[in-house]
Amino acid sequence: DRHYEAIRLLASVPRLNHEQIARKLRISRMTLYRWRQRPDFAHALNRTIDDEVKRRFRAHNRRVTEYNADEIESILRITGLLT
């Protein structure tokens, strides 16, 4: 389903921009925007991002201080803490 694919693409690193994601899903940017405003979609996206962040930390099995700057920036961008 396109909703799940949109969530996967929004949570992926490196992330495509909204226009690229909409084009890939064959929807308008406005449709993607409306989906992102829905509480259920936003909740699923946040849960997916949290899972991805946890997976990355476990996969590397090292302290945050040992991450390189690009990895830290990617994680912060995914979680919305850096724009």
Q: Determine contact, residues 79/49, Cβ cutoff 8 Å.
A: yes
> How many Cβ atoms from other residues are within 10 Å of residue 52's Cβ?
18
pTM of the complete model: 0.69
The whole-number pLDDT of residue 54 equals 82
Both tokens of 67, joined, read 């991450």
The whole-number pLDDT of residue 50 equals 87
What is the per-residue pLDDT across 28-54, written as a single tens digit (0 to 9) for each?
999 999 999 999 999 999 999 888 888
The whole-number pLDDT of residue 61 equals 60
- Going by C-beta distance under 8 Å and a sequence separation of 6 or more, which residues neighbour residue 38? none
Half-sphere exposure of 69 (CA within 13 A, CB side): 0
The whole-number pLDDT of residue 63 equals 53
To the nearest 10°, report the CA torsion of 65, 71, 74, 78. Answer: -60
